[in-house]
Amino acid sequence: MKQILTLARLVTLEALRTRFFAVIIILLILGFGLSLFIGQITLIETVNYQSSVIAAFLRLSAIYVVSLFVITSMVHEFNNHSIYLWLSLPLQRSHYLIGKFSGFALVALVTSILFGIALLNYVPYMQVALWSLSLFCELLIITAVSLLCVLTFHQIVQAFSMVLGFYILARSIIAIQLMAQSSLLNSQSWIDQFINSLIELLAMLLPNLENFTQSGWLVYHIGNFNNLVEILLQTTIYTILLISMSLFDLYRKNL
């Protein structure tokens, strides 16, 4: 446990030393500027427009910076061979990975809290709390995916492209599934059936990120405890799955 905590602390220190949180503050300033601009151009529902657009901007920014931080940090670890140093110590590979993941999770937690605070000006605090918690869950999944991709590819471009593809697909898989099931396209040819089955399979394997961090909570204040339970369960299951996959990969690596 002590080893895990030490690794988590080192990741947090790395975030501070690489000025990760300076980027977060710059994003918050940009979000504030965006809210002023939207306030200028809207005729009615100004607060709704401000809260939804800023929330979308902050959510995408959080995904981008946290994922990039995880990937660059791990690539740096491979390049300066510090991973070899860690693994030469009496430290289990599982403890190494969980320690790293815990550190990244802490960085994700601080990011989601800071971004949530920025929305308190527009939205009731309960809905902001739900949104921030959901963003944290979304970031946990993205952190785990980023770890898995970087352990597999060891390169920033490949790993980040994979994470981006995963995120876009996980957020739009429901819409793709609905389009594929449309009665107008109800063809019986084998290629259509194959594509439909593939989409069904993808929908089964991907987390339903469409239900996470919804703008509707901020605009129409419709978020409730049931949403939270569903999100927490999905995050727990999927994060454990991704960590297991990463551990499987890490234990097989000849490091």
| Interface mask toward other proteins for 201-220; x: CB under 8 A | --------xxx--xxx--xx
Give the whole-angstrom CA distance, residue 50 versus residue 99.
38
List alpha helices for the chain, DSSP H. Answer: 2-17, 20-41, 46-79, 82-88, 93-119, 125-153, 156-180, 190-205, 215-220, 225-252
Give the whole-angstrom CA distance, residue 123 versus residue 121.
6
Size of the site for other proteins (CB under 8 A): 29
Say whether residue 55 binds other proteins (CB under 8 A).
Answer: yes
| Interface mask toward other proteins for 218-237; x: CB under 8 A | -xx-----------------
**At how many degrees (to 10) do helices 46-79 and 156-180 cross?**
140
Nearer to other proteins, 69 or 101 (CB): 69
Mark the segment that binds other proteins (CB under 8 A) among 44-52, 152-160, 189-197, 225-233: 44-52
Nearer to other proteins, 214 or 246 (CB): 214
Nearest one of 24, 29, 55, 33 to 213, comparing CA atoms: 55
Say whether residue 132 binds other proteins (CB under 8 A).
Answer: no
CB of 76 to other proteins, least distance (A): 16
Whether 148 contacts 234, CB under 8 Å: no
Say whether residue 157 binds other proteins (CB under 8 A).
Answer: no
Give the whole-angstrom CA distance, residue 35 versus residue 67.
25
Say whether residue 48 binds other proteins (CB under 8 A).
Answer: yes
CB of 173 to other proteins, least distance (A): 9
Say whether residue 53 binds other proteins (CB under 8 A).
Answer: yes
From candidates 29, 120, 176, 240, binder to other proteins by CB under 8 A: 176
Say whether residue 194 binds other proteins (CB under 8 A).
Answer: no
What is the DSSP annotation of 194-229? HHHHHHHHHHHHS--GGGSS-HHHHHH----HHHHH
Give the whole-angstrom CA distance, residue 248 versus residue 244.
6
Kindly list the residues in this chain that would bind other proteins in the complex (CB under 8 A): 38, 41-45, 48-49, 52-53, 55-56, 168, 171-172, 174-176, 178-179, 182, 209-211, 214-216, 219-220
